[in-house]
Structure 1
């Protein structure tokens, strides 16, 4: 992998992880375009690690409070005080834990199925088109006003299931989870925050798993292109988060549908006439 390729992939990861256009789908397409076949697992993991860093940096105050309240809640359990969910950050911690369970189960039970989809460009294209329809429908339907008080645990499970579905390359994780939040009635700010926070355990868990696989298989080499690609992914991700928040506030989430439909359609046509 060249330095130029790493830079391009880092830029696209930073953009597509947070904008609802599917980072996994774009990475599959770009790696296919560049003909990259070696070291892709470890490089992809490091790019996602860059996205993880973007969320932590952008929401550092909230993330800090989530971590502190989580350990305080665990401390209360060990002290025999029971599970005390007595503030918004503790409730958010519980919602994130519950929402992460469906994703983890789907990733574990359907691992081979999802990985098989990465080898099919046509399936990625179809998934991109599906994501476009999801965004278009959600923006027209969603008028939620729920805050953290009205956020139910069943809502978190539904959003977690949608995040699990988004393991499919071409289905946007951020798009699916934000749409899920809107459809269960969350206000746009909370739906966006929960989407990003729900990505933290998901990306962190996947990163640990894939790094272990990469090192055990001898495919993990931390070189200059990987380091630079990861840093670029983090920096670009910060701007992408802010841009997505702006688009949501303006009610323009469906704008991304047109891009996804065009990209998916072009890919299908080009592959049919190869």
Structure 2
């Protein structure tokens, strides 16, 4: 398929995978890399398309959490007004404000790790054994997270150490095969967040993470000699990605609350073993 136009079939399949795997704890980067390998699609050819798929998944989060996002935007201006008038941050009195600051704080280690190690992790996208190991690690995180005790913290009891720890795990998830959503949800559970809040926080901090990933990829995408990226397949892929993302978010809320993450652990373990064995056999 080298040098060919990206077809509707390829665009829709990649859109489905991105939309589902971005929010299900199975690693969208790993799945996309694996599909590109089997389809014979050059990564440079679909780099701009991949950037646009990130936009599609961002739409999913905005649709599902628009009330939270709007409340956070309003709280930002109220916080600025409080700072100007000398009232301070008042995070104990304003839980939405504290949530916004936690999102920013969690994004700090993710951003630092992304800037420092992005090139290294990007180089692993073409190495199936590395992706397979990433899936095995993801499976272990998901499986053992179900063994944790009660989760009792809401935003009122969450502290900045919790937010930083979750942000570090999100940074590690730059590695293909390690799920971003899985890492942040597990991080929330490890720090004692309530299960429904752990999901909510994981998806809200995905906004700067997904946007940042797209921004980092834009320069390379502009330089890449992408061939025949037509508007039709592009729109189809983005729309499918957004719709599948919404479905995945709804599913994950129920999965985490019902303690069923272990089923995804079995899936990524199987996929990890298959990928490593396939890489060894075909090397």
TM-score by length of 2: 0.92
Correspondence 1:103 to 2:119: no
| Equivalent of residue 78 in structure 2, options 52, 67, 72 | 72
Whether the aligned pair in 1 keeps the contact of 2:47 and 2:224 (CA below 8 Å) is no
Aligned length: 274
The residue that corresponds to 2:262 in the other structure is 254
- Once residues 39 and 144 of structure 2 are traced to their aligned partners in structure 1, the CA distance between those partners, rounded to angstroms, is 34
Whether the aligned pair in 1 keeps the contact of 2:30 and 2:131 (CA below 8 Å) is yes
The residue that corresponds to 1:243 in the other structure is 251
Shift of 1:223: 2.1
Shift of 1:45: 1.3
- In structure 1, runs of 5+ residues without a counterpart are none
Correspondence 1:9 to 2:9: no
Match of 1:150, SS state, is coil
Spell out the pairing of 1:118-157 with structure 2 (5 A cutoff): 118-157=125-164
Shift of 1:76: 3.0
The residue that corresponds to 2:51 in the other structure is 45
How big is each residue's C-alpha offset from its partner over 1:178-200, in whole Å with a ceiling of 9 and x where there is no partner? Answer: 00000000000110010000000
Correspondence 1:36 to 2:44: no
| Equivalent of residue 168 in structure 1, options 166, 170, 175 | 175
Shift of 1:208: 2.5
- Once residues 218 and 273 of structure 1 are traced to their aligned partners in structure 2, the CA distance between those partners, rounded to angstroms, is 32
Shift of 1:27: 0.5
Shift of 1:88: 1.1
- Once residues 149 and 172 of structure 2 are traced to their aligned partners in structure 1, the CA distance between those partners, rounded to angstroms, is 20
How big is each residue's C-alpha offset from its partner over 1:17-42, in whole Å with a ceiling of 9 and x where there is no partner? Answer: 11100011001001111111143221
> Do the aligned partners of residues 91 and 34 (structure 1) sit closer, same or farther apart at CA in structure 2, a change above 3 Å counting?
same
- In structure 2, runs of 5+ residues without a counterpart are 1-5
> Would you identify which runs of 4 or more consecutive aligned residues in structure 1 move more than 4 Å?
216-222
Correspondence 1:24 to 2:25: no
CA RMSD across the alignment: 1.6
